[in-house]
C-alpha cells in the first residue's frame, strides 16, 4: 500500500559532463522506481533541470528516459507537484499538456494528515541578494520572454545555458556561513505554525528543529549533484535521507540526524 510523500530539489540535469549526467540519470531513475512503488505524491521543489526553456514546438533534448519515468509515475497514480526554481525560467505548456503537471511560481502551503507544510524553492531569500532579484525579474519578464521566443531554438537554448550559469553565479557567490536567510525564513515559518518548512536552492542538506518546537523542522533538501538527498513523509513523520553515496558509489538510504537550534 502506498504510504509516502517524497520531496526532492536541485537535480540540475544537463549541468555536468556526460559520465556524471549518466550517473545522475541512473540514480534518479532508480529513485523514481521507489516513488512509483510507495509514493502518493512527489514534490519537486525546483531545478530538476539546470535550465528549462521551451518553444511552442520545441523543448530541450536529452531527457527521454526521465520523461518516460515521469509518465510511468503519473500512470501509477503518483501525483506530482512542481515548484519553480531559479533555473525553471521560460516555461510553456509542455508539463501540463504532456503530464498534467502544474508548475507553481509561488510557495505552496499544504496540509497532509494534519501536518502543515510550507514549500519554497528558496531563491531570493538570501540576505543582500539584490543581484539575483534583479536577474530574476529580467528572466521572468513577459515582454523579455516574448522577444526571446522569436529567437531560433538552437540559439535560444545556448543563451539559456548562459543565463543558467549567471543564476548559479549569484547563488554560489552568497556567503551562507554566518547568516543563512533561507534557513532563517524557514525557522520563522515554523514559528508561525507550520510543522515543516521544506526548501532547496542551497545544495546543502539540513534538517533543523528550533528549540521549543520539538517535532517541527526546517529542511533543506540538498541536491542531486553531490549529496543525492531527499525527504520522505510517512506515518506522520518526516525524515531527510541520503539516497546515494557518490564517494563510495553505493546506495544508502541513510537517515540524516536532525539538529536542534538553540
Number of domains in the chain: 1
pLDDT in tens, the chain (262 residues): 899 999 999 999 988 899 999 999 999 999 999 999 999 999 999 999 887 676 666 566 778 999 999 999 999 999 999 998 876 655 667 888 889 998 898 999 999 999 999 999 998 886 666 555 555 565 666 665 565 555 655 555 555 555 555 444 445 445 555 678 999 999 999 999 999 999 999 999 999 999 999 999 999 999 999 999 999 999 999 999 999 999 999 999 999 999 998 7
Cβ-based neighbours of 252, under 8 Å, separated by 6 or more: 242, 243, 244, 245
Report the DSSP pairing between strands 206-210 and 217-220. Answer: antiparallel
pLDDT of residue 239: 99
How far are the Cα atoms of 14, 24, 63 from residue 66, in angstroms, in the given order?
Answer: 12, 11, 5
- C-alpha 230/C-alpha 170 separation (Å) is 24
Nearest to 231 by CA among 195, 179, 180: 195
Read off the C-alpha cell for 260: 536542534
- H/E stretch holding 120 reads strand 115-120
| CATH code at position 133 | 3.60.21.10
- C-alpha 180/C-alpha 184 separation (Å) is 6
pLDDT of residue 166: 44
Nearest to 161 by CA among 53, 51, 60, 48: 51
Reduce the DSSP state of residue 109 to 3 states and report it.
strand
Domain with 41, as residue range(s), is 4-261
How far are the Cα atoms of 11, 25, 68, 140, 242 from residue 62, in angstroms, in the given order?
Answer: 15, 11, 12, 24, 26
Nearest to 47 by CA among 8, 1, 10: 10
Is the distance from CB of 59 to CB of 88 less than 8 angstroms?
Answer: no
Q: What is the DSSP letter of 173?
A: T
Amino acid at each position: 500500500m502506498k504510504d509516502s510523500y517524497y520531496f526532492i530539489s536541485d537535480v540540475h540535469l544537463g549541468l555536468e559532463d556526460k559520465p556524471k549526467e549518466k550517473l545522475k540519470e541512473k540514480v534518479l531513475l532508480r529513485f523514481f522506481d521507489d516513488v512509483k512503488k510507495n509514493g502518493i505524491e512527489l514534490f519537486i521543489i525546483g531545478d530538476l533541470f539546470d535550465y528549462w526553456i521551451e518553444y511552442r514546438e520545441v523543448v530541450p533534448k536529452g531527457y527521454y528516459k526521465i520523461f518516460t519515468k515521469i509518465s510511468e509515475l503519473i500512470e501509477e497514480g503518483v501525483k506530482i507537484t512542481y515548484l519553480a526554481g531559479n533555473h525553471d525560467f521560460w516555461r510553456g505548456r509542455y508539463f501540463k499538456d504532456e503530464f498534467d503537471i502544474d508548475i507553481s511560481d509561488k510557495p505552496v502551503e499544504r496540509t497532509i494528515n494534519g501536518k502543515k507544510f510550507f514549500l519554497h524553492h528558496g531563491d531570493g531569500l538570501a540576505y543582500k541578494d539584490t543581484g539575483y532579484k534583479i536577474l530574476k525579474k529580467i528572466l521572468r519578464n513577459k515582454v523579455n520572454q516574448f522577444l526571446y521566443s522569436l529567437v531560433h531554438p538552437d540559439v535560444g537554448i545556448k543563451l539559456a545555458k548562459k543565463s543558467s550559469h549567471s543564476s548559479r553565479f549569484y547563488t554560489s557567490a552568497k556567503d551562507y556561513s554566518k547568516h543563512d536567510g533561507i534557513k532563517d525564513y524557514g525557522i520563522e515559518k515554523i514559528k508561525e505554525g507550520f510543522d515543516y518548512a521544506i526548501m532547496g536552492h542551497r545544495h546543502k542538506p539540513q534538517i533543523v528543529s528550533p528549540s521549543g518546537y520539538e517535532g517541527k523542522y526546517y529542511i533543506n533538501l540538498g541536491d542531486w549533484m553531490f549529496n543525492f538527498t531527499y525527504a520522505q513523509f510517512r506515518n506522520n513523520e518526516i525524515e531527510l535521507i541520503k539516497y546515494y553515496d557518490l564517494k563510495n558509489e553505493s546506495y544508502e538510504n541513510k537517515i540524516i540526524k536532525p539538529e536542534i537550534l538553540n
